[in-house]
């Protein structure tokens, strides 16, 4: 049974890896499930089993994109005394740099935003789920920072998470949709740096 689970996890990983490469290279709308199956060396049925459809693949890729924040939240929560805003800041900046360096990511991000809108039209809760998940991860990180370093009043973990989420979401959407001349680097980094500086001195 354990081997079967390991095989299933590896198959899912291969499918996701193939889908991501094809989406980035050719554009989400121009890739079929048959092409993904061929690239991953699996049947189309295997894709339906693991991810249901192309939307399921895109949603899983979006979840994978926030995995660095999940890992940081888990690590900080389990390591009293080691939480710091600098670690959080570094992870945020690394994610922005990775997205900015690959022009293909902008098209993928537009597809994710479009999918969010489509899902929200049919079920408003679907549109909220991802935003709530990312906000919750930010709040977990800030709770660890508050525990180990403190936050300057009137900030607390939830209000800091809300402010950071609003900034990150605004920058990301503006960049993905090509609003004005917004760039994740350096524009987004500069804005977020100013926020982190507010939280860095609890005694201020």
pTM for this one? 0.88
Nearest by Cα to 84 from 148, 9, 16, 172: 148
**Residue found by looking up tokens 């987004």 in the block:** 188
Residue pair 145/85 in contact (Cβ under 8 Å)? The answer is yes
Looking at residues 163-189, what average pLDDT do you find? 93
Looking at residues 153-163, what average pLDDT do you find? 96
What's the confidence (pLDDT) of residue 1?
A: 41
* Nearest-10 Cα torsion for 41, 47, 50, 56: 130
pLDDT in tens, 28-43: 999 999 999 999 999 9
What's the confidence (pLDDT) of residue 203?
A: 52
pLDDT in tens, 53-64: 999 999 999 999
């Amino acid at each position: 049974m354990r081997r079967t689970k390991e095989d299933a996890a590896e198959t899912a990983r291969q499918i996701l890896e193939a889908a991501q490469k094809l989406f980035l290279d050719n554009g989400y709308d121009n890739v079929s499930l048959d092409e993904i199956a061929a690239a991953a060396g699996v049947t189309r049925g295997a894709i339906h089993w693991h991810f249901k459809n192309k939307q399921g693949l895109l949603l899983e890729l979006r979840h994978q994109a926030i995995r660095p924040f999940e890992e940081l939240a888990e690590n900080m929560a389990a390591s009293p005394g080691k939480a710091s805003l600098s670690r959080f800041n570094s992870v945020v900046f690394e994610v922005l740099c990775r997205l900015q360096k690959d022009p293909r990511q902008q098209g993928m991000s537009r597809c994710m935003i479009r999918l969010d809108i489509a899902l929200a039209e049919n079920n408003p809760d679907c549109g909220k789920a991802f935003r709530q998940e990312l906000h919750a991860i930010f709040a977990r990180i800030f709770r660890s920072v508050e525990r180990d370093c403190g936050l300057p009043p009137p900030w607390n973990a939830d209000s800091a998470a809300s402010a950071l989420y609003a900034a990150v979401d605004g920058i990301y959407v503006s960049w993905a949709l090509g609003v004005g001349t917004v760039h994740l680097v350096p524009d987004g980094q500069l804005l977020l740096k100013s926020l982190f500086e507010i939280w860095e001195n609890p005694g201020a």
